[in-house]
Each structure stands twice: as C-alpha cells, then as structure tokens.
Amino acid sequence: MSEILIKNGNIVTSNNVYKSDILIKDSKIELIDINIKTNSPNVKIIDAQSMYVLPGAIDPHVHMELPTPAGNSSDDFRTGSIAALAGGTTSIIDFVTPSKGQSFIEALNLRKKEAEKSLIDYGFHMSPTWWGKNSANEMKKCVIEEGITSFKTYLAYKKVVGISDEILINVMKTAKDLNALVTLHCENGDIVDFLKNKFISEGKTQTKYHVLSRPPEVESEAVNRATTFAKLVGCPIYIVHVSTKQSIDIIKKAQESGQKVYAETCPHYLLLDKNIFNKNDFSQTAPYVLSPALRTKEHRNKLWNALSNNIINTVASDHCPFNVIGQKDVGINDFTKIPNGAGGVEHRLSLLYTYGVSANLITINQFVDLIATNPAKIFGLSHRKGKIAKGMDADIVIWNPDKEEIISAKTHKQNCDSNIFENYKVKGMPEIVIANGKIALENDTVNVNDLKGNYLFRKVQK
Ligand SMILES: [Zn+2]
C-alpha cells in the first residue's frame, strides 16, 4: 500500500479555503484532518505550507490526435496528457467523431484504443454527425453501457461533421429522454461558407480573412437557435467555446428563464485579440487561426464579467494544436485550408490564475469551480472527481502561487512548434501534481513511467 501525506496546505473548495492535512491511500483520499499522523514506513510526506491544495483539474474539451486533411492534431494522447499534467490537469474529455454512416459504438471502440496511451484519466463526448434508424438506440447504448453522458453537435463544418437542424432536434429529443446533455459548437456553417467563398473568389486568401469570415453574428445566431431549440424540446445544453458578448446576453436570458443552459469559454477568448492578424506574416498569424475566431477587448470584458457572475460555468482549453511547418502551412495561399485550432491544455490553469484570480476578476473558489468542480458536475464525474473530499479519487494539485514562468514553444511540453501564448508571463503554477494517488509531476518533470490513465465511465445527472 502506498501513502502520501500532504501537510499544512490551504485546501480550496467552491466556497472555502481552509488549512488541513490530507492522507492519500492508494488511489483515494483516505482522510482530511488537522495534524494527521501516520506510522506507515512507506509514506511520502509533502509539506504544502504556503501552497494551495486544489482538486486535479478536468479539461472537458480537448482534441488529441484529431484527424484532419493536414494530418492529426500534433499532440497524441500520450504527449497531450504529459502537457496536461505539467499544467495541473488530471482528467480530460475528448471526442468520438464517427464518419457519416459509421456506427457510434464502432467509432468509440476505435477511439478508446487510441486513448490507451494517455497517462491521465480520459472520457469522451460522442458526436452524432449523421442520423439513421439505429442512432437513437446507439445513443442509449452510449449512456447506459459506456457511461457517455454528453453528445457534441456541430452547427458549423456542414460538409464534414456539421448536422442539419432536423438532426439536431433528433439528438436533443433523444438526449432529453436519456437525461443526457447536448453540447454545441455554435457557428452558422452556411454563412461561414458563403463568406469564405466570397473572399476566395475576390483573391482575398490571407489569414486575416479567416477572422472576417467568422464575425460575431455567426456565433450568436447559432447560440440563439440552440437555446431556442433546447427550450422547445426541453433538453439541457452546454455551449462550448463561447466568444462573443451577444452570446452571453442570449445565454444569460435563457438561464434566467429557468432553462438549463451551461456555457464554456477558453483562455484564448479571454486573453487574445484579433488585431494579431494585422501582422501580414503567415507564420506569425497562422497559429491563431482557430474557430470561433478571436475577438476584441469589448467581448473579452464581457466574458470575464460572465465568469465572475457564474453565467459561464467552465473554462476549457479546446486543445487542438497543429504545427505551422508541415500542417498550418498547407494554407499559406488559401486560409480556408489551414487546420483550425491551437494548443492550450498545458497553460489553462496558470493563465486563468494569473489573469483572473491575481487580477481580482474571479475568486480562487471560482477558479476551482471553473477548472474542476463544475466540469465534474456537468459531465457526470462528481461522484469521483472535481473536489477535495474523503473518498474521492486522489487527483490533487499542490499549487505554488509564487512560481513563475514565461510561456514559450521552446520550453512547453505540448508537441507543437508554436504557442499562441508565446511570451505570456504567468505567476502561479503547479509545484506537485498527484494523479490517481501517484506523484505525476514533481521538480518540473512528469513521472511518465509510473502513470496510466483509465477510461472514465460517467453518470447522468438526475
Ligand atoms: Zn473543439
């Protein structure tokens, strides 16, 4: 039996910060009390004096080894999970994206194989990309036999994974009957296609036209449609990567009317500006080609405000990196060919802490809610993860509020030749990370030999 005793730390929960010791036995939290003593000869003692003790973070939106015409996203489950651990994330929820006509369960089994190399626990959202006579039954199997409690739908990317309104309604109705959640990528794909084709036909091929082809209305139209359908069908929804002030207004109104609408945003929408595209250099702008597009300060202020007011419930990374050289550069003469996405799993916590908690925009309790407690509750993991309590999985981050770093692609653990937060300074980082009761990060080194992630069977909310 292995034991870890964390002494003198400041434990952070949704509504409290308190000093206590924590005893971990094997993979679970055995005891939380002041001044715990143990006489086990094998105990490892961690002195967490002047540190925060946080629940291991859950990133509910990542795309490891996502297949695209420009190759897979550049982090696979192994390298991506190493980067996640370096930043304090101990569980991820990725996606299963069946091709049109493919059985959802068959696609899930193939995806599970790819994820076996993850060093941290992993679950999946299932994405119905098509609808057939067996689809409702397959969704039921996902929930009951596979512990998949959330279904991701795309209102953009019509020709690849996007679905019609008619299919969306089928998915919502089925999810409602199963007590499951529908998550949505809200952008109107048809109007994006129209704008993209228009720019290309006018010879406007540079990266900045990516942003101009995805203006804020493209998102808010789809958010409005999603909340309207959800209301009429009676289905709870979760809107991924919200980026605009208009979307916040729609979501707030739906929440106030009593609808179950959850919202997520990402560090890049909170921190980065679309004026990055004023540079005309491809290699300096291509890393920022992601969807929805980057916005302006006005939108960012509204997003921070929505975090502080609990309108936005989670901050996820939407981790989906591609190298500039050899991947993004397929679109050097045509922005529509650039694979969309950027890495973020490694710095989600340190960025949100530095620019949110330390800047007094959110409290440390809200920080824990946004990165761990709320994702666990919303996605059916709160019986095991997302808070520090007796009997929970021993996923714990010893957070050093004084530790500093300047983010750079030269030193990050993400497998990518660029970083959209290059030169960003962060203060507040993990000192030690424990995953499933094992020391996973210590002295800036991920203990790769000792770790193995497990598939997360999730439970529906009643
Ligand atoms: Zn995504």
Chain position carrying tokens 């994206």? 97
pLDDT at 89 exceeding the cut of 70: yes
Give the model's pLDDT for residue 161. 85
pLDDT, mean of residues 419-430: 98
Compute, in angstroms, the gap from residue 30 CA to the centroid of ligand 1: 36
pLDDT in tens, 54-80: 999 999 999 999 999 999 999 999 999
Q: Where are the domains of the chain?
A: 55-378
E strand or H helix at 262 = strand 261-265
Distance CA 78, CA 36 (A): 36
Q: How far is the CA of 62 from the centre of ligand 1 (A)?
A: 6
**Average pLDDT of span 269-290:** 96
Give distance in angstroms: CA of 67 to centre of ligand 1: 13
Q: Would you say residue 158 has pLDDT above 80?
A: no
What percentage of the chain has pLDDT greater than the value 90? Answer: 96
Q: Kindly report, residue by residue over 325-339, the tens digit of the pLDDT.
A: 999 999 999 999 999
pLDDT tens per residue across span 348-382 = 999 999 999 999 999 999 999 999 999 999 999 99
Alpha carbon distance 441, 179 (integer Å)? 37
Q: How far is the CA of 106 from the centre of ligand 1 (A)?
A: 22
Distance 305 CA to ligand 1 centre (A): 23
Closest CA to 421 of 293, 269, 299: 269
What confidence score (pLDDT) does residue 182 get?
A: 98
Residue 318 C-alpha to ligand 1 middle, in angstroms?
5
Share of the chain above pLDDT 70, in %: 100
The mean pLDDT of 109-131, rounded to a whole number, is 97
Mean pLDDT to the nearest integer, 238-243: 98
| Domain at 55-378, CATH from 3.20.20.140, 3.30.56.10, 3.10.20.30, 1.10.10.10 | 3.20.20.140
**pLDDT for the residue 253:** 98
- For the segment 246-275, the average pLDDT, to the nearest whole number, is 98
**What average pLDDT does the segment 217-243 reach?**
97
pTM of the model: 0.97
Secondary structure letter of residue 15 according to DSSP: S
pLDDT band for position 96 (cuts 50, 70, 90): very high
CA of 20 to the centre of ligand 1 (A): 38
> Concatenated DSSP letters for 327-381?
TGGGGTT-GGGSPP-B--TTTHHHHHIIIIITTTSS-HHHHHIIIIIHHHHHTT-
Å from CA of 95 to ligand 1 middle: 9
- H helix intervals, 152-244: 165-177, 189-201, 208-212, 216-233
Alpha carbon distance 367, 365 (integer Å): 5
Measured CA to CA, the distance from residue 349 to residue 367 in angstroms comes to 8
Mean of the per-residue pLDDT values of the chain: 97
Label residue 462 by pLDDT band (50, 70, 90).
low
